[in-house]
């Protein structure tokens, strides 16, 4: 088991004198598990671990027993007009919790009773929605529970944690409002609006029963989260998206606000890792410090090791697709109580969001060449990004080039400062990405080329979402499009019953159009796909009023 020195120390020191522990945190857990990764999600805003067992729960490849991360959560901080600091963060629950499940009330607070009612993660697959939409008359018996209990505005059937009925009068989980009446009623045909082939939705806030992880002033923010993934038999199966909508429910206009993602990205065996940063993808990277992971531990990868990354796709200051702001900071700390160790005060958590150590000293680039780096703390030029060089280039600053001792790595990647006014909201989107395990994929034999390809895939598909597909047959539910033969070798036939001209687009699995036929009039189109590489493709048929999609396999 990973040595959580921080957890042990603070449990012994503070637990007997902390009455807030009478209100126990919730152990509710669910998983994004539709593709190659099985990643845990928890209602207190943390993820990729199981706090009950204290073990990693971010398995890759799914079913292998190996894990690419140990724990992750959102950190954020900001200042009011009087320069007072507000901080919220989450790590290993050793002091308690800054975040609790549930939305804030009109006073910006969250009681334990309400938190209990929202201690649930709502999980749904696109196939459930397809099945639901194929039924013309809905009742409580034929409506899937995930759709029936979806926590959307006005849903009379909404159910939360422990089966508790929810009364929801405000916008919560997104939905398709079929009759445009502004409220969710699945028996009238409304259904969840999700992304990907599987999505998990949950809500948590930072002003609940306790705020004892940082002991800072809570920001009074409410976070609506959606984790989602695709399963398409391609590199997108090595990606999970996390989309957060952060609402300022306080009366404070925050300046110098920062949002960060903390990651204790243990790669297999936890004590032989390195970390790095790729500025082009705003990506924190964890790779192995040696060409063999571990020394035979049951959870180690051995000599077939992946590389894992967290790429920030949407940050404050972005104006996609035209411009993207640089990351504000890529910082790390050690699992000890040195100046470069675990944060224990609100100010120290805030420091790590701003490229500074516990004592507020700015991090420096101390690299002077391969295997040579400063031994004097504080020398070198200030930098906002640590270890921003590719490990294959010994002239650039990386842990591999610096010949650091491998160990237990954790990092924080952040936005730049921005203003979050009272009542405003901000979206942040990140993706967990991983390469497939590769032989001897550690220092000094590795590079970041493969993880950048997976990150490219994640970014491309986020901005060009894959169509929602019916993959079980040749036709979709209303029989408006048929694609055959399937699989196909050379000639593909596409039949539609549309009464207006349309456009046929053939897309590959990362959303790139490989063939387009405009102004299609006939009901049957013959298409030669013999020159396409073998694999899965999508047929999109678009008119001015409709869009249909189907898959086919080229062999």
- Based on the fold, state whether residues 139 and 266 are members of the same structural domain: no
Which are the contacts of 64, defined by CB distance < 8 A and separation ≥ 6? none
pLDDT band, very low/low/confident/very high, at 508 (cuts 50, 70, 90)? confident
Range(s) of the domain holding residue 423: 5-99+206-463
| 315's tokens | 């940050």
- Based on the fold, state whether residues 156 and 83 are members of the same structural domain: no
* Paired residues of 246 in beta bridges: 223, 426
The residue from 201, 232, 251 where one domain ends is 201
The residue from 463, 489, 510 where one domain ends is 463
- Based on the fold, state whether residues 341 and 430 are members of the same structural domain: yes
How much helix, strand and coil, in percent to the nearest 5, is found in the chain? 15, 35, 50
Instruction: For residue 405, tell me if it sits in a domain.
Output: yes
What phi, psi does 299 have (nearest 5°)? -100, 10
pLDDT band, very low/low/confident/very high, at 76 (cuts 50, 70, 90)? very high
- Based on the fold, state whether residues 364 and 293 are members of the same structural domain: yes
- Based on the fold, state whether residues 146 and 293 are members of the same structural domain: no
pLDDT for residue 513: 76
Question: Across the chain, which distance is largest between two alpha carbons, in Å?
Answer: 77
pLDDT for residue 70: 97
- Based on the fold, state whether residues 243 and 334 are members of the same structural domain: yes
Instruction: For residue 84, tell me if it sits in a domain.
Output: yes
Averaged pLDDT, 92-107: 95
Residues of the chain above pLDDT 90, percent: 74
Instruction: For residue 473, tell me if it sits in a domain.
Output: no
- Based on the fold, state whether residues 438 and 531 are members of the same structural domain: no
Q: Strand, coil or helix: what is 391? A: coil
CATH, residue 545: 2.60.40.3080
- Based on the fold, state whether residues 392 and 340 are members of the same structural domain: yes
Instruction: For residue 471, tell me if it sits in a domain.
Output: no
Instruction: For residue 108, tell me if it sits in a domain.
Output: no
Distance CA 99, CA 255 (A): 21
- Based on the fold, state whether residues 40 and 67 are members of the same structural domain: yes
Instruction: For residue 261, tell me if it sits in a domain.
Output: yes
Whether the pLDDT of residue 18 is over 50: the answer is no
User: How many domains are contained in the chain?
Assistant: 3
- Based on the fold, state whether residues 226 and 349 are members of the same structural domain: yes
The residue from 201, 227, 246 where one domain ends is 201
Averaged pLDDT, 355-363: 95
Whether the pLDDT of residue 15 is over 50: the answer is no
Distance CA 495, CA 493 (A): 7
- Based on the fold, state whether residues 178 and 59 are members of the same structural domain: no
pLDDT band, very low/low/confident/very high, at 323 (cuts 50, 70, 90)? very high
| 284's tokens | 């924190």
| 237's tokens | 């199966």
Which segment of 13-27, 309-323, 459-473, 521-535 scores lowest on mean pLDDT? 13-27
Whether residue 346 contacts residue 354, with contact meaning beta carbons closer than 8 Å, is answered with no
Averaged pLDDT, 158-185: 97
Instruction: For residue 275, tell me if it sits in a domain.
Output: yes
pLDDT for residue 181: 97
Averaged pLDDT, 531-551: 75
- Based on the fold, state whether residues 215 and 95 are members of the same structural domain: yes
Residue with tokens 């979206």: 427
pTM: 0.84
Instruction: For residue 317, tell me if it sits in a domain.
Output: yes
């Amino acid at each position: 088991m990973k040595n959580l020195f921080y957890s042990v120390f603070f449990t012994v020191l503070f637990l007997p004198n902390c009455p807030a522990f009478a209100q126990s945190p919730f152990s509710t857990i669910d998983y994004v598990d539709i593709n190659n990764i099985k990643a845990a999600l928890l209602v207190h805003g943390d993820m990729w671990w199981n706090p009950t067992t204290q073990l990693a729960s971010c398995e890759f490849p799914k079913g292998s027993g190996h894990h690419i991360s140990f724990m992750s959560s959102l950190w954020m901080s900001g200042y009011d007009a009087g320069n007072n600091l507000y901080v919220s963060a989450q790590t290993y629950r050793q002091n308690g919790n800054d975040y609790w499940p549930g939305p804030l009330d009109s006073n910006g607070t969250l009681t334990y009773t309400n938190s209990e009612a929202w201690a649930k993660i709502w999980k749904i697959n696109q196939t459930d929605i397809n099945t639901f939409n194929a039924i013309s008359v809905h009742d409580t018996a034929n409506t899937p529970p995930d759709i029936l209990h979806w926590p959307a505005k006005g849903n009379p059937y909404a159910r939360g944690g422990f089966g508790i009925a929810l009364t929801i009068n405000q916008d919560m989980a997104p939905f398709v409002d079929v009759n445009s009446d502004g409220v969710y009623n699945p028996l009238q045909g409304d259904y969840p609006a999700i992304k990907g082939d599987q999505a998990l939705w949950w809500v948590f806030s930072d002003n609940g029963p306790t705020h004892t992880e940082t002991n800072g002033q809570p920001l009074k923010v409410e976070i609506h989260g959606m984790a989602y993934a695709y399963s398409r038999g391609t590199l997108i199966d090595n990606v999970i998206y996390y989309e957060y909508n952060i609402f300022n429910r306080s009366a404070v206009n925050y300046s110098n606000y920062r949002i960060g993602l903390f990651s204790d990205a243990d790669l297999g065996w936890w004590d032989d890792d390195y970390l790095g940063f790729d500025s082009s993808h705003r990506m924190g990277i964890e790779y192995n410090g040696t060409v063999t992971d571990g020394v035979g531990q049951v959870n180690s990868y051995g000599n077939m090791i992946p590389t894992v990354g967290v790429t920030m796709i949407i940050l404050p200051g972005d104006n996609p697709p035209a411009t993207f702001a640089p990351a504000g900071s890529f910082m790390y700390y050690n699992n000890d109580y040195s100046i470069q160790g675990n944060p224990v005060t609100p100010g120290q958590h805030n420091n790590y969001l701003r490229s500074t150590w516990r004592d507020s000293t700015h991090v420096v680039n101390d690299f002077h060449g391969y295997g040579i780096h400063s031994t004097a703390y504080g020398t070198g030029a200030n930098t906002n990004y640590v270890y921003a060089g590719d490990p294959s280039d010994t002239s650039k600053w990386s842990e591999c080039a610096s010949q650091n001792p491998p160990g237990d790595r954790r990092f924080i990647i952040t936005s730049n400062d921005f203003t979050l006014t009272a009542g405003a909201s901000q979206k942040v989107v990140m993706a967990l990405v991983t390469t497939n395990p590769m032989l001897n994929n550690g220092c000094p034999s590795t590079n970041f080329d493969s993880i950048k390809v997976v990150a490219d895939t994640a970014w491309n598909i986020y901005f060009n979402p894959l169509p929602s597909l019916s993959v079980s047959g040749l036709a979709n539910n209303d029989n408006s499009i048929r694609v055959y033969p399937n699989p196909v070798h050379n000639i593909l036939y596409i039949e539609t019953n549309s009464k207006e001209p349309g456009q046929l687009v053939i897309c590959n699995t990362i959303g790139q159009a490989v063939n387009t036929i405009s102004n299609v009039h006939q009901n049957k189109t013959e298409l030669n796909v013999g020159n396409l590489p073998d694999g899965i493709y999508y047929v999109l048929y678009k008119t001015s009023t409709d869009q249909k999609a189907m898959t086919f396999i080229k062999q």
